[in-house]
Amino acid sequence: MNAVYVLWIRQLKRYSRSRARIVGSLGQPLLFLVALGFGFGPIFRRAGAGNYLQFLAPGVIGMTILFSAVFSGIELIWDRQFGFLKETLVAPVPRMMIMIGRTCGGATVSLVQGLIVVAICYVAGFRAASFASWPFAFVFMALIAIMFTAFGTAIASVLSDFQAFQLVMNFLIMPLFFLSGALFPLNGVPRALQIVAAVNPFAYGVDGMRVAFGASASQFGAVMDLAVLGAITLLLLGVGGYLFSKIQL
């Protein structure tokens, strides 16, 4: 566990040196929050669905964590191409521990970015039902961060090209986001979209945060959200660890 902690701190130090990346990654969430939250707010309200900003904010928070977590896998490709990964892998530490340490570092940065967006949402007018629900919401945010950081690491373990990683991630992540119910309620949508959302792990994270913040009623149930996220997180950690252990330098 000491090895995991050391690698965790090492990853955090690397990310802390790229403050421009952290600040730049907040541009897209702000665009969604302002353009959609205030642009579609009157339409949403006239449709009798309430305050759209309250509904949208958990989805934007989840989006921030999702994109930051997945694209942390680029760091692995960077390390492999420039030889830094070899320095880590020659250490007398199981590769699974190395992968977990890297995942924890990337997930922590993603979580911090998510918390920054939570603060921005509060400035914009979003309000949680109760501060007592914050620990519950934090659990869902952490699970999203760990799950998709492990996913990004798993994909980066089998790719060695930056462009290929970005193409694959955009092909997978954009549908995960747009078909999760982050931007629109799943009630009343076509049955096909409801089925897609039911097999979309990100949908359970967004739904769980909405329940925790009291932004809307649950689509799947809080217990189901937590169980699905926990199971898939453990699965992706295992798959990511296996693929990481097979990296050939």
* Segments making up each domain of the chain, as ranges: 2-245
- As a whole number, mean pLDDT of residues 15-38 equals 68
Angstrom distance (rounded) from CA 103 to CA 1: 14
pLDDT of residue 62: 92
pLDDT of residue 167: 81
pLDDT of residue 10: 59
The answer to whether 214 and 130 are in contact (CB under 8 A) is yes
249 pLDDT band, cuts 50/70/90, is low
pLDDT of residue 48: 62
Angle formed by the axes of helices 95-124 and 74-81, to 10°? 140
pLDDT of residue 200: 93
pLDDT of residue 235: 94
Report the candidate in 82, 72, 67, 144 with the shortest Cα–Cα distance to residue 103: 72
pLDDT, one tens digit per residue, over 51-76 is 788 888 899 999 999 988 888 877 77
Angstrom distance (rounded) from CA 3 to CA 29: 34
Other CB atoms within 10 Å distance of the CB of residue 110: 29
Residue predicted with more confidence, 90 or 94: 94
Task: Read off φ and ψ for residue 60, nearest 5 degrees.
Answer: -70, -40
Report the candidate in 247, 191, 194, 183 with the shortest Cα–Cα distance to residue 220: 194
Angstrom distance (rounded) from CA 185 to CA 76: 36
pLDDT, one tens digit per residue, over 131-190 is 777 888 899 999 999 999 999 888 888 877 777 777 877 788 888 998 888 888 888 788
- As a whole number, mean pLDDT of residues 112-130 equals 85
Report the candidate in 105, 108, 93 with the shortest Cα–Cα distance to residue 245: 93
pLDDT of residue 188: 77
103 pLDDT band, cuts 50/70/90, is confident
Report the candidate in 40, 81, 75, 61 with the shortest Cα–Cα distance to residue 144: 61
Residue predicted with more confidence, 93 or 8: 93
pLDDT of residue 91: 67
Other CB atoms within 10 Å distance of the CB of residue 123: 8
What mean pLDDT value characterizes the chain?
81
pLDDT, one tens digit per residue, over 187-231 is 878 888 888 989 999 999 999 998 888 766 778 888 999 999 999
pLDDT of residue 229: 94
Other CB atoms within 10 Å distance of the CB of residue 136: 17
Q: How far is CA 11 from CA 73, 78, 161, in A?
A: 12, 13, 21
Residue predicted with more confidence, 21 or 157: 157
pLDDT of residue 32: 79
49 pLDDT band, cuts 50/70/90, is low
Angle formed by the axes of helices 2-16 and 95-124, to 10°? 50
Percent of the chain at pLDDT above 70?
Answer: 84
The answer to whether 74 and 219 are in contact (CB under 8 A) is no
